[in-house]
Structure 1
């Protein structure tokens, strides 16, 4: 039998073994388990910024591939968590948010309708009625907000703060109890992964329904949240585009979703936190004195077993004492190689980098005005004011004008006033907060010269100070009316009867 099997094997065609050439070629490029573990630990210690497939990679030069919408979609959830952590736990992030809100919103942004009569004069009666109705609605939290938690001023602050942190915010307009009520929705509730094609002209992309020809939003899809468990219920609610305000600062013309202002400084702040922590550890080591006692060789040919008294070993030194070492002993101290002297200069450079990424003045970001002179502070303040004015205008045009138009339209629908809403919107000005000046006296003199030379009106100057010209004029008249006469009644003789 064995002989027959051997003969059969001679005439049997041997099978060719398939060689995995891809495996052999790429085997030397694969990561070892040790290298994979090391990369995971480095990624975990650096706020998740180190990833071989991440555009925010700290070990390789980042490459921007594809459209900006693809980049936002792939990193959206992770960047939200990191940027929210920076705004709450990082002193630079918290300071930036507070400083921006203080300069953009300040004491408040308020509309001022200036309706005119056919003869060209101001319709003071209509303007006063609109003004009173608006403040009664805007300052009443239960009438203004759906949850009754914020008024118009707080709404402006939260909308701007949410845009800086998350990159975008959604405002849903509700009409309940004969009032317009607003609801704010965070960016994570608009599911960026919700995408599907409805028909040949309509598509859902990044949680928003678009007309594919015009790229105009038609509706928005928001996650429904279970309040008890604080989790997603798995269902989506659709709101018409006319009911939603999407507020974000677009960096490119085809951008559909927003991203945080902290994106350019994520790596820098993470590296700064690590450097500060290491420097603190070095400072603690330096503050602790460590040392050991060395002793020369005492062998002098005597018997090692000679029974003699051994000297006392000194193991601890107390401050302010003078101790004597035994013969042949010496003290060696351990000094920490710290870079404490370079800490201030390095911090100054890294803070400059952070200020550049956030687009603000470094001294304003840190609150440190040491070494700042008048020229540099004024130059930095002017640069900041231009940016804040641009953000103010963007907030007003995108959010506040829409809210005010809905308010006026609701007054007309409820037959509370007869008004042409489109005309009223064209004749409405917005009172902005006054920009603080480094040298108020010089700025006031410059404004007076502009008025005297007919370059600006007195009304425009008062509005630039964040005040209502009509109210200022009324208060000036009241002050003039209440002035005491020049002749005092104290020295007036009393007439005898």
Structure 2
């Protein structure tokens, strides 16, 4: 859209296509695509040329979108898709705060206010319809809601941190599996089925299913180092503690 202004030396002479003048004496002439307008002597057409926004428009737009993202509680790169000024640390910091807010909505709104009433109504309807035979309906109401998993920027570091947390006893394998959006009982059944199938087919992998699941277990009883102190071997090699032997 642009506007043109007609200047002429004789204002009383109407221009071709010019409408009637308003109370202020200003008239508007229409301009259509492909029109060749013939001007009278002394008339000229000048189009408006607004000033350019300059080189600071991109910075202004960036700050405006930052304010919009902050007001919505969303990361800037999720709103705009612009990751030019982002790095691993900034993306992870934004995602941690954003996912904490989403988890509040998942557990406080969706699970508590939507899923729980639906589950209670379904359980009651199924029992009244004779689909379920429950001796204690109240005992069947407690359930665990598992939201979809989150994908991190660097999943390798995240998995390594989870393994270290399990080995240190900070968290349990159940919580780690549930954080991925799966049920631990279903995962265990799949691991057992995979292990049985691999054994039946004679397959051997670097880590067989069911062989090293979860944190490394510490043996309940450790051999006494002094028990074999007097048993010298022929070549003078010392006995190796099986609990400390590394693969």
Q: Smaller-chain TM-score range?
A: 0.5 to 0.7
2: CA distance, partners of 1:422 / 1:455:
33
Query: Does residue 74 of structure 2 align to residue 385 of structure 1?
Result: no
2: CA distance, partners of 1:422 / 1:351:
50
Superimposed CA distance per residue, residues 388-409 of structure 1 (whole angstroms, 9 cap, x where no aligned partner): 0000012110111000011011
| Count of residue correspondences | 157
Query: Does residue 191 of structure 2 align to residue 476 of structure 1?
Result: yes
Q: Between Structure 1 and Structure 2, which shows a larger proportion of helix residues? A: 1
Query: Does residue 145 of structure 2 align to residue 412 of structure 1?
Result: no
Out of 424, 441, 452, the position equivalent to 2:140 is: 424
1: CA distance, partners of 2:175 / 2:137:
24
Question: Measured at CA, do residues 444 and 486 of structure 1 come closer, stay the same or move farther in structure 2, by a change above 3 Å?
Answer: closer
1: CA distance, partners of 2:183 / 2:193:
16
Do the aligned partners of 1:405 and 1:421 also contact (CA within 8 Å) in 2?
no
2: CA distance, partners of 1:358 / 1:370:
21
Aligned to 2:74: 360
Aligned to 1:441: 156
Superimposed CA distance per residue, residues 370-416 of structure 1 (whole angstroms, 9 cap, x where no aligned partner): 12111110100001000000000121101110000110111111122
2: CA distance, partners of 1:362 / 1:486:
48
Moved over 6 A (4+): none
Out of 170, 174, 177, the position equivalent to 1:455 is: 170
1: CA distance, partners of 2:65 / 2:179:
32
Unaligned runs of 5+ in 1: 1-280, 286-332, 488-497
1: CA distance, partners of 2:157 / 2:166:
15
Question: Measured at CA, do residues 475 and 345 of structure 1 come closer, stay the same or move farther in structure 2, by a change above 3 Å?
Answer: same
1:301-320 matches, within 5 Å, as none
How far 1:480 moved relative to its partner? 1.1
1: CA distance, partners of 2:165 / 2:128:
44
How far 1:363 moved relative to its partner? 1.1
Unaligned runs of 5+ in 2: 4-46, 205-247
Question: Measured at CA, do residues 486 and 390 of structure 1 come closer, stay the same or move farther in structure 2, by a change above 3 Å?
Answer: closer
How far 1:334 moved relative to its partner? 8.6
1: CA distance, partners of 2:203 / 2:66:
59
Superimposed CA distance per residue, residues 19-61 of structure 1 (whole angstroms, 9 cap, x where no aligned partner): xxxxxxxxxxxxxxxxxxxxxxxxxxxxxxxxxxxxxxxxxxx
Aligned to 1:400: 115
How far 1:481 moved relative to its partner? 1.6
How far 1:486 moved relative to its partner? 5.8
Aligned to 1:485: 202
1: CA distance, partners of 2:122 / 2:185:
22
2: CA distance, partners of 1:334 / 1:386:
51
Do the aligned partners of 1:433 and 1:465 also contact (CA within 8 Å) in 2?
yes
2: CA distance, partners of 1:486 / 1:334:
79
- Partner SS for 1:482: helix
Q: Between Structure 1 and Structure 2, which shows a larger proportion of strand residues? A: 1
How far 1:456 moved relative to its partner? 1.9
Query: Does residue 83 of structure 2 align to residue 369 of structure 1?
Result: yes
The alignment yields a C-alpha RMSD, in angstroms, of: 2.2
2: CA distance, partners of 1:334 / 1:407:
67
2: CA distance, partners of 1:363 / 1:418:
51
How far 1:447 moved relative to its partner? 0.9
Aligned to 1:343: 57
